[in-house]
């Protein structure tokens, strides 16, 4: 795998929280603009840890993480925030802030020394809120929103950074099926139309199979497979990943539906 040509590439990375227990091992990963990549795997397989290494929140013990062909560690926090944005699994404690203020927080890497939001910052925030359909409640606080609406606000905040890479940790985990679909469709639009590289950790194999351009399967801190859904959604690979028997059902789409037993 050539690491140079990808917007984000991890080569042979290893990471341990404590010296005797490696959480990531020999992990190769690549993301390109214009693609939605879903990382799947059982709980504890290292998905969040991988995201945090890709973000530079955790420093890898060995291997490399290259963002736009430069090592992650060569980026200042400000430059990094203009390139890569993160939507964490649990919304921040910004409940008391109104939506517009939260989205404007995403402008911190772009605003001037005084950190005051100018006309352009408000215009970018408006665009991010339009994209995520959150403009209608721009004056409400996060505490006054449903889970799906709050998640879209967190995505709007990330978009206000105008990143080239967007990483999301289980963005649909507490959402009903309609909101899950809305988030997946939004991720596809962002990946294909913006375009940016969108990397999402998830648990729904069927949603990932339907919407992702690529799927990464992880188990025990290793990447078992990365490829197009049709290449990765296979009974043997899914059994290796999740340790369950799976059945693939042809529903007439590009990718079969997965039923686990």
Of residues 22 and 189, the one with the C-beta less far from ligand ADP: 22
Q: Applying CB under 6 A, does 96 fall inside the site for ligand ADP? A: no
Of residues 48 and 134, the one with the C-beta less far from ligand ADP: 48
Distance CA 50, CA 220 (A): 12
Of residues 136 and 244, the one with the C-beta less far from ligand ADP: 244
Of residues 88 and 106, the one with the C-beta less far from ligand ADP: 88
Residue carrying the six token digits 């339009």: 130
Q: Applying CB under 6 A, does 162 fall inside the site for ligand ADP? A: no
Task: Give me the helix-helix angle, 177-193 and 119-131, nearest 10°.
Answer: 130
Closest approach of ligand ADP to the CB of residue 144, in Å: 30
**Nearest in space to 260 (alpha carbons), one of 243, 247, 241, 242:** 247
Burial category of 85 from C-beta neighbours within 10 Å (exposed 0-12, middle 13-18, buried 19 and up) = buried
Of residues 151 and 241, the one with the C-beta less far from ligand ADP: 241
Closest approach of ligand ADP to the CB of residue 208, in Å: 14
Closest approach of ligand ADP to the CB of residue 37, in Å: 15
Q: Applying CB under 6 A, does 171 fall inside the site for ligand ADP? A: no
Q: Binding residue for ligand ADP (CB under 6 A) from 9, 23, 160, 168?
A: 23
Query: From residue 27 to residue 66, what is the string marking binding to ligand ADP with x (rule CB under 6 A)?
Result: --------------x-xxxxxxx-----------------
Closest approach of ligand ADP to the CB of residue 40, in Å: 9
With residues binned 3-state (H G I as helix, E B as strand, rest as coil), the percentages for the chain, rounded to 5, are 35, 25, 35
Integer angstrom CA distances of residue 201 from 43, 144, 194, 243, 249: 11, 26, 20, 19, 24
Q: Does residue 83 contact residue 8 with C-beta atoms inside 8 Å?
A: no
Residues of this chain that interact with ligand ADP (CB under 6 A) are 17, 23, 41, 43-49
């Amino acid at each position: 795998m050539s690491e140079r040509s990808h917007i984000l590439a991890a080569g042979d990375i290893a990471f341990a929280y404590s010296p005797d227990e490696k959480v990531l091992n020999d992990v190769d990963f690549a993301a390109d603009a214009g693609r939605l990549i879903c990382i799947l795997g059982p709980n504890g397989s290292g998905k969040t840890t991988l995201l945090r290494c890709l973000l530079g929140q955790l420093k890898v013990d060995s291997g490399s993480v290259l963002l736009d062909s430069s090592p992650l560690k060569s980026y200042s926090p400000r430059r990094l925030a203009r390139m890569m944005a993160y939507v964490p699994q649990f919304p921040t404690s910004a409940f008391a802030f109104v939506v517009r203020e939260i989205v404007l927080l995403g402008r911190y890497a772009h605003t001037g020394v005084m950190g005051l939001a100018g006309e352009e910052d408000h215009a970018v925030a408006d665009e991010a809120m339009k994209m995520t359909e959150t403009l209608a409640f721009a004056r409400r606080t996060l505490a006054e929103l449903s889970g799906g609406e709050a998640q879209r606000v967190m995505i709007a905040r990330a978009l206000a950074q105008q990143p080239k890479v967007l990483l999301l940790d289980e963005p649909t985990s507490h959402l009903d099926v309609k909101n899950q679909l809305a988030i997946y469709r939004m991720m596809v639009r962002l990946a294909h139309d913006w375009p940016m590289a969108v990397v999402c950790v998830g648990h729904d194999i069927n949603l990932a199979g339907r919407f992702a351009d690529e799927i990464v399967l992880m188990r025990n801190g290793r990447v078992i497979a990365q490829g197009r859904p049709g290449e990765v959604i296979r009974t043997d690979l899914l059994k290796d990943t999740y340790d369950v028997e799976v059945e693939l059902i042809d529903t007439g789409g590009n990718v079969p539906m997965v039923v686990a037993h």
